[in-house]
Amino acid sequence: MSQYRIERDSLGEVQVPADALYGAQTQRAVENFPVSGIRFPRVFIRALGLVKACAAEVNAELGLLDAQKAQAIQQAAHEVVEGKWDDHFPIDIFQTGSGTSTNMNANEVIANRATQILGGESGSRLVHPNDHVNLGQSSNDVIPTAIHVSACLEVHELLLPALRHLHETLNRRAAELDNVVKTGRTHLMDAMPVRMGQEIGGWTYQVAQSIERVEGCLPRLVKLALGGTAVGTGINAHPEFASRVARKLAERTGVPFVESDNHFAAQSAMDTATELSAHLKTTATALMKIANDLRWMNSGPIAGLGEIALPALQPGSSIMPGKVNPVICESVMMVCAQVMANDVAVALGNQHGNFQLNVMLPLIAHNLLQSITILGNAARVLADTAVAGFTVNRERIGEAVGKNPILVTALNPVIGYDRAAQIAKRAYAEGRSLKEVALEMTDLSAEELDRLLDPLPMTEGGIVGKMEGGG
């Protein structure tokens, strides 16, 4: 048997691998764009399959597509949704800016598979990729639609559940450790005491706000470009096509998709994708802070802070026996850096909405979806492997708090800033306790100093005493 078959498009004949479900236009794109080896992710191919399946069903209901062909297209498209034909989507991300090559890739795979279902041979065009599978559509509205659909699915199914899980895990640890008083730090230098529950509570709030930001974007992300076809006017699409497809997508996914309010904006600008990317970047900065704080708190164990011990997951050095590194924190921090970089690419891509079409759609799709996926995975790993599992070195934390001359800050309202500073400097210089020096330099009793220098009440805020001469 021949290893190739001949398929045709408007430019002529093309040799296509005999067992490939794709056709001539896909093969041309494979040959034209040997750039990165990066393909569209699974969730994007899934979204394309959903769009094509719903489109075929609607076109049949509208009397525009033969019922038998429509049924075969739906079956083939559902196989694409399930990932059965992922190997037949070989085109590089760095391709034509509209994503036309990938839309035609989907059209050809679904058309040839539908042809097989109906008893025909691949390439015979019993089911036509343009006339039947792409009916009422253009790459210019299908690809922006698939970006929104895939992003919504990944946010709902992966990112938000992972962030909520991280939030719950942090909240639980904050409650467990709220009685641990530790040294606060500003500029990486000793500062007033805080409770570990308060510190973790700050991280918890950051994650909660990240969830709110992402959720706030979703009402715009569910609006789909489908129906605008070539330039936003809807040429060759039934007036009811887009709204009906959006309803079917909503029924199949549970996500409340609707037709865009303005097709010209939906196809020429990817503002909502850019907005979501910006929220992902903000979320990444929050996770970077949390992971980096945990890494610092874990540092040591002898010469560092040594406040906590992260779970020992793997040997940390090929030369230093016994060394264990904060590998989860480092992994999460690299994810966060990548998400921040991806946001730059998405923003630059959105700038290239020239007249009626954005011409960097594949770039936007790749970077946006990668950010959602890796951020969701990193959030869950951080929760389960670092946050849930670290232990606290209570003895070391308590000793550090008690010896810290910075506690003199609590005496400011009683003796004034200048005298408090003198006491702190002398305690530092002589290596003596704050209480011992304060007994020599003030009229305060030992009992009064014990009350004023107790670290726990300092974490509650307020004024512990009064200024000299303040009445």
Which are the catalytic amino acids?
187, 317
The DSSP H or E segment spanning 263 is helix 263-268
* DSSP code for 398: H
Neighbouring residues of 249: CB distance < 8 A, sequence distance ≥ 6: 50, 51, 54, 149, 224, 255, 257
DSSP conformation letters of 34-98:
-S---B--HHHHHHHHHHHHHHHHHHHHTTSS-HHHHHHHHHHHHHHHTTTTGGG---BSSS-TT
Q: Which of 248, 258, 257, 259 lies closest to 74, judged by CA?
A: 248
The string over 338-373, giving b where at least 16 C-beta atoms fall within 10 Å of a residue's C-beta and e elsewhere, is bbbebbebbbebbebbeeebbbbbbbbbbbbbbbbb
CB 438 within 8 A of CB 386: no
CA distance 228 to 234: 4
CA distance 76 to 209: 41
* DSSP code for 409: G
Helix (H, G, I), strand (E, B) or coil at 258: strand
Helix (H, G, I), strand (E, B) or coil at 224: strand
CB 435 within 8 A of CB 449: yes
DSSP conformation letters of 94-137:
SS-TT-HHHHHHHHHHHHHHHHHHTT--TTS-SS-IIIIITTT-
DSSP conformation letters of 349-391:
HHTTEETTEES-HHHHHHHHHHHHHHHHHHHHHIIIIIITT-E
Q: Are strands 4-9 and 12-17 parallel, antiparallel or unpaired?
A: antiparallel
CB 290 within 8 A of CB 206: yes
Give the largest CA-CA distance in the chain. Answer: 103
Looking at the chain, how many residues does it have?
A: 471
CA distance 47 to 146: 5
CA distance 152 to 160: 10
CA distance 357 to 141: 9
